[in-house]
Structure formats: C-alpha cells, structure tokens
Amino acid sequence: MSQKNDSLTLTRVEDLTLGVAAFVPDVPALNRLVACVGSAGGKDKFLALVQYTLKLVAQFLAWRAQVQHRAGRRLAPTSDAAPALTKFAGIISDARMVHNITSMFGMWRWLKAIESQPYKTRRLRTIERLQGWSILLYFPLEHICYLIGHGVLPAQWSIGRPAASQLTNEKIQSGTVKVDVGKLTRISMGLWGLYTVLQLLHYREDLKELVETGVSLSKTKADATKQKLSELKRKRTLIMGETIAQLCNLPLAIHWGTGSTLIKSELVVNLLNLTANLASFRSLWITNGPPPDTEDAVTDPDILAPVGLDAGLDEI
C-alpha cells in the first residue's frame, strides 16, 4: 500500500513539474504567431522586423549618448549597447541571406504554377510571368554578390592554362576575369525594382476586380453576400498593406541600385525597411487569422511574393 501511495505521489509530482504545460492556457495569438513564422516568408519578415528594430534602437542609443555627452551627463559620446545591437542585426541579416538561398526553388515552382492556373485577364498572367522571371534572375545575382562580398567566392577568375596549349597545339592566352560586384548589384536591384513596379500594377488590377465584384454583390441582399463583402474588405486590407510595403521597397531598390547614393540618411533606409516588413507581416498576420465563412480563398499575389529581397544587401 505504501509503495502504491509513493507511486501516486511521484506521478503527481511529475505531472506538476514536467507536465506543467498542461496548466498553461492556450494563447490564440501565440498560435497565430507560430503559424506566421512557420513559413519561409513569415520567418524572413519576422527576422527583418527584429533586424531593423535593433538598428533603429542602436541609432537612437548612439544619438542619446551624444546628446547626454554635450549636456555633461555622460563622460563619453558613445553608447556601449549600440555596437552590440548593430552586430546582432548584422548576424540576423546574414542568417536571412543564407536561409533564402533555397528561395530560388520556390521561384521556379511559382513560374510553373503561373502556367497551370487560370487567369481572369491576359494582363495579369503577363505581369506575373515578368515578375517570376525577374525574381528568378534576381536571387542568384544577389547571392553571388553577397558571397563575393564575404570572400566566399573569388572576385577574380583565372582563364587559360599553359598545359592546354601543349596538348592542343593551340596558343591559349592566360588571364583573369574580374567580377564587377557593383555592376551585378545594380543589375540585381534593377530586377528587384522591376518586380516591385509590376507588383504595384498587379495590386491595381486586383483593386479594380474587387471594386467590380463589390458593386455586383451590393445589388443583392442574400446572407451569403454579406460574408462575401466581408471577405472583399479583408482582401482590400491585404492589398493596401502590401502596397505600402512595395512603395517602401521601390526607393530602396533605386537607392541600392545607384550605389547607395539616393537616400543620404541611414535612418531613412532603416525606417523604410522596417515599415515595409511591418506592413508585410501585418498582411501575413491577417491571412493566418480566423478564416472567413466563405468559399473564396485568398489568392492575391502578395501571399506568393518572394521573400528576403533586401537581406544582407547593406552588408555588401
């Protein structure tokens, strides 16, 4: 009997310690966050939010240290925490870049999906075809520039071998080919800028379609119509959020494509990046919310958009 009681006591202790998770209430917001960061795009957007938040906080701490130093409240005009936050932001940037190397496979799958799914207009198919190819070319160029900038790939390639001329009796001139990282960066940013402009055009077509659908639905009074109108409102919110993100991405593409000469303030660059990723993550958060009671699914191209278009570029 004593052994049985001891066994029950140990079981109870185990339940109260190792099984403490059973007493934690379910948090819908946490489940929603897990669903968001569980995808490749959601994880990249979340990390980008952390990255640019750290950069902005580091800039604020550095500015505050200078102000306090001028006011005589600080011995040195520097912040001890700012460099650490900046380094951590750089680590996150590298992690995003490495994580997004596999995104090229997803881009090819996207191109295949474009050819297999129906489109309401020919213009939408053309826009997505151009988007798919621009991003499929953008990703390898971006990663080549990144790897060269970090010394993983050589910036110069040797061509021609003296031994080859002896075997073929042909004179082969040896030399080197130097990779112009700056030019590759400008080309990749041009492709990203093209994608951004096309995405804005896509949203314009989507909004036109939503307006036409809303006008036709407003003429009926069925209960199902109210649900569909609610879904249209939800789609419009997603499109407007992604439009804000792309309007922030466009000047960044021009800025990096011109050798970081367009925007003079690093603060503005960080704010644009933070705003773009915040708007995109908000759209993803809405998408992973409770599904509406309609048959229509969210098929806006913003859900299929490539991820990590700016990761690591500021470190090149």
Number of domains observed in the structure of the chain: 1
pLDDT at 82: 95
Q: Which of 14-18, 33-37, 219-223 has the lowest mean pLDDT?
A: 219-223
CB atoms within 10 A of CB 183: 10
pLDDT at 64: 94
pTM of the model: 0.80
- 292 band by pLDDT with thresholds 50, 70 and 90: low
pLDDT at 73: 87
Q: Which two tokens stand for residue 75?
A: 């011995």
pLDDT at 1: 52
For the residues 281-296, what does the mean pLDDT come to? 73
Alpha helices per DSSP H over the chain? 2-17, 28-37, 40-70, 81-99, 103-116, 122-149, 162-168, 181-218, 223-257, 266-287
Q: Is residue 247 part of a domain?
A: yes
Q: Distance between CA atoms of 274 and 56, rounded to whole angstroms?
A: 9
Instruction: Please report where in the chains the tokens 């900038």 appear, as a residue.
Output: 149
Higher-pLDDT residue of 228 and 89 is 89
Tens digit of each residue's pLDDT (9 = 90 or more) over 35-58: 889 888 889 999 999 999 999 999
Higher-pLDDT residue of 62 and 305 is 62
- 88 band by pLDDT with thresholds 50, 70 and 90: very high
Q: Is residue 184 part of a domain?
A: yes
Q: Distance between CA atoms of 299 and 124, rounded to whole angstroms?
A: 13
Q: Is residue 290 part of a domain?
A: yes
For the residues 137-146, what does the mean pLDDT come to? 92
| DSSP 3-state of 306 | coil
Strand partners, 159: 175
21 CB-contact burial (10 Å; exposed 0-12 / middle 13-18 / buried 19+): exposed
Instruction: Please report where in the chains the tokens 């295949």 appear, as a residue.
Output: 112
Q: Distance between CA atoms of 187 and 238, rounded to whole angstroms?
A: 30
pLDDT at 21: 84
Which domain, by its residues, includes 197?
Answer: 31-315
Pick from 22, 45, 42: nearest CA to 32: 42
- Are 93 and 312 spatial neighbours (Cβ–Cβ below 8 Å)? yes
pLDDT at 173: 52
Q: Which two tokens stand for residue 184?
A: 């590759």
Q: Distance between CA atoms of 219 and 213, rounded to whole angstroms?
A: 10
For the residues 127-136, what does the mean pLDDT come to? 93
Q: Is residue 7 part of a domain?
A: no
| DSSP 3-state of 157 | strand
pLDDT at 39: 84
The most confident of the ranges 61-65, 173-177, 307-311 is 61-65
pLDDT at 250: 95
Return the sign of the alpha-carbon dihedral for residues 12, 13, 16, 20: negative
Q: Is residue 26 part of a domain?
A: no
Q: Is residue 122 part of a domain?
A: yes
Higher-pLDDT residue of 8 and 161 is 8
Pick from 41, 45, 61: nearest CA to 275: 45
Q: Is residue 162 part of a domain?
A: yes
pLDDT at 28: 87
Q: Is residue 259 part of a domain?
A: yes
pLDDT at 223 over 70: no
pLDDT at 174 over 70: no
For the residues 87-95, what does the mean pLDDT come to? 95
What average pLDDT does the structure give for the chain?
A: 83
- 164 band by pLDDT with thresholds 50, 70 and 90: very low
pLDDT at 150 over 80: yes
As a whole-number percent, the residues of the chain with pLDDT over 90 amount to: 45
- Are 59 and 270 spatial neighbours (Cβ–Cβ below 8 Å)? yes
